[in-house]
């Protein structure tokens, strides 16, 4: 039952992250943090259960299909990247903060690089750098909260 409760809480947080991102509430100079990525990175570092991560992203994809199917491909790409990050987690430094920073940076580069290839556009690494700093500044406190309360 505890696993279901954690899953439900993370699902609600993921849904909230999607709505916050879409609303532009945290938009600072055109940069919006990738809240869904950082939520998943916090889940990977805090709980390290692949089943929970896959279940969370499956639920997010299903809800995205019904709420806003326009973003389904992007969520699918992000889900694959999150699973990849979860698989390489054991091979990283072992320091939770350093691992969060490495996974966030890798996730940002892979996500926007893949989208650029699919859409035939260019990747602006300065934009990725700004978003990485913003996302990491939100992600580390989120990880501390999720570690303590979830």
Q: Tell me, what's the pLDDT at 150?
A: 64
Q: Tell me, what's the pLDDT at 139?
A: 86
State the Cα–Cα distance between residues 9 and 28, nearest whole angstrom: 27
Is the distance from CB of 56 to CB of 7 less than 8 angstroms?
yes
In tens, the pLDDT along 57-105 reads 777 777 777 766 667 788 888 888 988 998 898 888 888 889 999 999 9
What average pLDDT does this structure show over 46-59?
75
Report phi then psi at 79, rounded to 5.
-60, -45
Strands (DSSP E) along 34-150, which ranges?
none
In our burial notation (b when 16+ CB lie closer than 10 A, e otherwise), range 92-112 reads beeebeebbbbbbbbbbbbbb
**Distance from the first to the final alpha carbon of the chain:** 13
Q: Where are the domains of the chain?
A: 2-149
The pTM for the full model equals 0.85
What sign for the dihedral angle of Cα 142, 46, 52, 117?
A: positive
Report phi then psi at 28, rounded to 5.
-125, 105
């Amino acid at each position: 039952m505890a696993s279901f409760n954690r899953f439900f809480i993370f699902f609600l947080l993921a849904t909230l992250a999607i709505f916050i991102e879409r609303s532009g509430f945290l938009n600072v100079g055109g940069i919006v943090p990738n809240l869904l990525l950082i939520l998943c990175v916090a889940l990977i570092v805090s709980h390290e259960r692949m089943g929970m991560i896959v279940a969370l992203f499956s639920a997010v994809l299903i809800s995205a299909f019904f709420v806003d199917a326009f973003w389904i491909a992007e969520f699918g790409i992000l889900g694959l990247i999150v699973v990849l990050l979860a698989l390489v987690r054991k091979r990283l430094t072992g320091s939770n903060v350093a691992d969060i920073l490495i996974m966030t940076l890798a996730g940002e580069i892979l996500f926007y690089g893949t989208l650029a290839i699919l859409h035939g556009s260019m990747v602006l690494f300065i934009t990725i750098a700004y978003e990485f700093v913003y996302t990491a500044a939100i992600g580390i406190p989120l990880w501390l909260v999720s570690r303590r309360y979830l």
